[in-house]
Amino acid sequence: MTRSSASWVTPARMASLLMIPFLPAQASVGDVGLLPTPPMGFNNWARFECDLNETLFTDTAQSMVSRGLLDAGYNRLNLDDCWMQTERSANGSLQWNTTLFPHGIPWLANYAREHGFHLGIYEDAGNATCGGYPGSLNHEQQDADTFASWGIDYLKLDGCNIYAENGQPLRDEYKDLYTQWHKILSGMSQPLIFSESAPAYFCTNETDWMRVMDWIPENGELARHSDDVLVYSGEGSAWESIMTNYDYQVQVARYQQPGYYNDPDFLIPDHPGLTDDEKKSHFALWASFGAPLIISAYIPDLPEEVITFLKNKDFIDVDQDPLAQQAALVTRDANFDVLTRSLANGDRLLTVLNRGKKTSKTTIPISQLGLDSSCKYRARNLWTGAVETIKESVEITLDTHATIAYRITPPRGCTKTTPTGMIFNTASSRCLTASSDKVTFSTCDAKNSQVWSVLGSGSKFTLSPLSDSSKCLSASKDGSASLVSCKGGSGTSWSHFMTGHLKSASGDCLADSNGASLETCDQSVAGQIMGLPSGVKLASGLF
């Protein structure tokens, strides 16, 4: 669980944060070795909510072993909310519910280990969990020590029931608590993996959300940035819920790097509201993102076809690729989203989703993927394993809500790829569009005038639309963005920052306003936050 109806009123909160001794912060992106690739495993929440117990976990573990999921890489068993008793013990330690866990959590951790798994647990940084059980506020070190002593190496830390003190912005309260937790968890003799829920509490306000995201990768290994995926018994559309988190995920691609992964929440492959194509799309998209693959389903009862696609080695290899690039949008139109990313061995991924209501066809020029149109590439269909040769373009026909992915291998002499794709304002989802000597932000239409090549190898680069490769995006002296000859000098040099700002050499930021303008860079202006193709090297600092 992450989000619930927390009421954000001002509470009294103690000053204990100030008394935490300094510990070196070294996990996450500072210590890639703690979680070099995204986690894979099981969590009870979306399927069972509070109805968890020891048997569910042992049965699930046995099934994951016998059905080959463990061997495929799913090696984590994560407890979610409601595992504990409503009161702490006399010495203040957390206690498990002995009815639900008759042998105890340390026993379960040992059981997990003996079967090849790691056990993860859930707590909340506030004064109560979302389900109303004791929160960790003021018990941070004690609870971390308790989890470690139980044999747990992964903590999902929620953010229900956090309240701001003395009128401090709520997001700063979250930052203080999560930074404190990072210091504790990364300072343990065996550091715990830290799954942060903080961003999820801010995703309805673009600028607040991004300002939370800015400190997230330094403070943990993965982060739930958006809504809980629809639970099994929930009302509403499971597919829309998946697409909601997908739409948040594409906005935060730039934050992902080895050691830190954006988490769009659980896979729900037995949700009764999903079609077979939707279940497979969910998996294929999450793997394309390099997202955590945490299954929330009753695994012993999953049909064999579902187990088979969850074990698809080609997709899992993409998910676990050590480069950890997140696939980013190349184009979007009324039906199709096209995404690409690079893989560690120099291959390029092409993932295509049909979001439309009917079967449709599309043609994707390979130049849109940053590949050389004069070369022939080998493309492996990740669903079927079939290999075909592609040149110039790829033709794809997809049923409604289906996803296809190809792993594209360049021949010798054609190994250079260019970060290429949409530049879009994450708040409006409008695309930067080239037209003769002008640029505007407009509805995405998948034309070459909306596909940008990022040229240059460092964190300063030029941006050229595929529709006219002699032209580059320029910051004009009159405060507007325009297209000029790529020989136009420093006005065509840009940098992208973790905050999302796309800054010109003269120090102004591109904004989705009045067509496309240049403004004084400002973190509180949502129109300045841009998504770029994957593989762009970010400039250091906050714009």
Ligand X SMILES: *[C@@H]1O[C@H](CO)[C@@H](O)[C@H](O)[C@H]1NC(C)=O
- Among this protein's residues, is 158 annotated catalytic? yes
Catalytic residue among 81, 143, 158, 321: 158
Amino acid at 262: N
Name, in order, each residue with C-beta under 8 angstroms of 296's C-beta and a sequence gap of 6 or more: 42, 43, 44, 45, 46, 47, 229, 266, 267, 268
Cβ atoms 257, 222 nearer than 8 A:
no
Q: Lay out the site mask for ligand X across 205-224 (x = CB under 6 A, - = otherwise).
A: x-xx----------------
- State yes or no: residue 100 binds ligand X (CB under 6 A): yes
Name, in order, each residue with C-beta under 8 angstroms of 17's C-beta and a sequence gap of 6 or more: 176, 177, 180
Cβ atoms 372, 416 nearer than 8 A:
yes
Q: Which of 16, 66, 86, 308 binds ligand X (CB under 6 A)?
A: 86
Cβ atoms 47, 57 nearer than 8 A:
no
Q: Which of 26, 58, 85, 428 binds ligand X (CB under 6 A)?
A: 85
Instruction: Provide the phi-psi class of 392: left if phi over 0, else alpha when psi is between -120 and 50, else beta.
Output: left
Q: Which of 1, 28, 37, 48 binds ligand X (CB under 6 A)?
A: 48
Stretch that binds ligand X, among 161-169, 245-253, 331-339, 379-387 (CB under 6 A): 161-169
Which residue, 138 or 257, has its beta carbon nearer to ligand X?
138
Instruction: Provide the phi-psi class of 19: left if phi over 0, else alpha when psi is between -120 and 50, else beta.
Output: alpha
Residues comprising the chain, all counted: 543
Which residue, 12 or 15, has its beta carbon nearer to ligand X?
12
CA atoms within 13 A on the CB side of 506: 18
Name, in order, each residue with C-beta under 8 angstroms of 98's C-beta and a sequence gap of 6 or more: 85, 104
Report the distance separating Cα 152 and Cα 88, nearest Å: 19
- State yes or no: residue 168 binds ligand X (CB under 6 A): no
- State yes or no: residue 5 binds ligand X (CB under 6 A): no
- State yes or no: residue 388 binds ligand X (CB under 6 A): no
Site size toward ligand X, by CB under 6 A: 23
In the bound complex, what is the minimum distance in angstroms from residue 367's beta carbon to ligand X?
A: 37
In the bound complex, what is the minimum distance in angstroms from residue 290's beta carbon to ligand X?
A: 29
> What beta strand segments (E) does 321-382 contain?
328-332, 336-342, 348-354, 360-365, 376-381
Which residue, 96 or 461, has its beta carbon nearer to ligand X?
96
φ, ψ for residue 197 (rounded to 5)? -100, -5
Q: Which of 16, 66, 93, 308 binds ligand X (CB under 6 A)?
A: 93
In the bound complex, what is the minimum distance in angstroms from residue 82's beta carbon to ligand X?
A: 8
- State yes or no: residue 91 binds ligand X (CB under 6 A): yes
- State yes or no: residue 345 binds ligand X (CB under 6 A): no
- State yes or no: residue 166 binds ligand X (CB under 6 A): no
| Binders of ligand X in range 239-268 (CB under 6 A) | none
- State yes or no: residue 97 binds ligand X (CB under 6 A): yes
- State yes or no: residue 233 binds ligand X (CB under 6 A): no
Q: Which of 63, 78, 141, 161 binds ligand X (CB under 6 A)?
A: 161
Q: Which of 4, 26, 53, 179 binds ligand X (CB under 6 A)?
A: 53
- Among this protein's residues, is 80 annotated catalytic? no
- Angle between helices 238-249 and 276-289 in degrees, nearest 10: 20
Catalytic residue among 80, 208, 214, 372: 214
Report the distance separating Cα 63 and Cα 240, nearest Å: 30
Q: Which residue do the tokens 């800054």 mark?
A: 503
Stretch that binds ligand X, among 28-36, 68-76, 204-212, 459-467 (CB under 6 A): 204-212
Q: Which of 11, 30, 456, 515 binds ligand X (CB under 6 A)?
A: 11
Which residue, 162 or 422, has its beta carbon nearer to ligand X?
162
Question: Please, is 160 exposed, middle or buried when counting C-beta atoms within 10 Å of its C-beta (0-12, 13-18, 19+)?
Answer: buried
For the chain, the helix, strand and coil percentages under 3-state DSSP, each to the nearest 5? 30, 25, 45
- State yes or no: residue 51 binds ligand X (CB under 6 A): yes
Q: Which of 34, 56, 431, 529 binds ligand X (CB under 6 A)?
A: 56
- State yes or no: residue 128 binds ligand X (CB under 6 A): yes
Q: Which residues bind ligand X (CB under 6 A)?
A: 11-12, 48, 51, 53, 55-56, 85-86, 89, 91, 93, 97, 99-100, 127-128, 161, 163, 169, 205, 207-208
